[in-house]
Amino acid sequence: MLLQPKKFKDPVEPAFGDPNCGGCVLDPSGCLCDGCKIRPLSVCNVLNEQEIKTFRNLGHSVGYNAKTSLFSQDEEADAVFNLTEGMVRLYKLLPDGRRQIVGFALPGDFLGLAFEPTYSFSADAVTSAVACRFPRKLFEAYVDQTPALLKRLHEAATYELTLAREQMVLLGRRSAEERIAAFLIGLRDRLYRIGYHSPTLRLPMSRQDIADFLGLTIETVSRTLTKLAKDKVILIVPDGIRFLKMEKLETLAA
């Protein structure tokens, strides 16, 4: 399953070309495109079989154990990532330690596109995760000679921007209960679209992660979930929730 825990070789080997990288190279010969489940959903779907053969050799499939880092804010942005398994949190830190999670990446999501030479946010694995990791220079050179891929990346960025703006509305103008409702529904919808289709919504991230994504405190998240459960809108289960009154939640999130 896409969000199942898994353990990679420990201690992890450094990824090719990056001694600071916390991951473990799964196959030195390149990305594992042949059996890749999320390829149809990913940016690589615009490449034909011939092109994929070149492309997969640009990078490597890398495994990350839960809580390990893919990359960090302000460090040199020398790689880009295509997440294939697991969940990754993307966040920015303020100097005093306050944290804002700017998104949870799911399989098929593309990470690390930076405007500047350094990453503008940090990324680490919520669950164990697998990503195709490409040296930035190689990737950009390939994109420059493959307009179809560029177009697909632009689509992805535009979509991200739409999500980001919706998150601004949530953070700027919604109540705690509305934030939680929108979060649960939004996550379910995204998982649904990538084929993860279940009556139970797994929440592999901590309450603190949810709080830092929604601009709340851990206590408010906990209380609000409890309230929704008391109202029989959701059922809290180990590691997630089940939806009981979808319409009620959707009204709150509207």
Please choose, from the candidates 81, 83, 82, 103, the residue with its C-alpha nearest in 3D space to the C-alpha of residue 92: 103
Instruction: Identify the residue whose tokens are 């992805």.
Output: 156
**Contact stretch for a second copy (CB under 8 A) within 49-57, 162-170, 195-203, 222-230:** 162-170
What is the Cα–Cα distance from 214 to 196, expressed in whole angstroms? 23
Count CB atoms within 10 A of the CB of residue 99.
15
Q: Which of 141, 169, 237, 246 binds a second copy (CB under 8 A)?
A: 169
Q: Which of 32, 58, 113, 176 binds a second copy (CB under 8 A)?
A: 113
Scan residues 73-112 and list those touching a second copy (CB under 8 A): 92, 94-95, 98-100, 102
Scan residues 190-219 and list those touching a second copy (CB under 8 A): 212, 214-215
Distance of closest approach, residue 214 Cβ to a second copy, in angstroms: 7
Scan residues 125-154 and list those touching a second copy (CB under 8 A): 144, 147, 150-151, 153-154
- Which is nearer to a second copy, 1 or 94 (by Cβ)? 94
Size of the site for a second copy (CB under 8 A): 40
Binding of a second copy by 164 (CB under 8 A): yes
Count CB atoms within 10 A of the CB of residue 48.
8
- Phi-psi region at 189: left, alpha or beta (left = phi > 0; alpha = psi -120 to 50): alpha
Question: Starting from the edge strand earliest in sequence, which strands make up the sheet with 122-125, in order?
Answer: 69-71, 122-125, 88-93, 99-105
Binding site for DNA (CB under 7 A): 175-177, 206-208, 215-223, 225-226, 236, 238-239
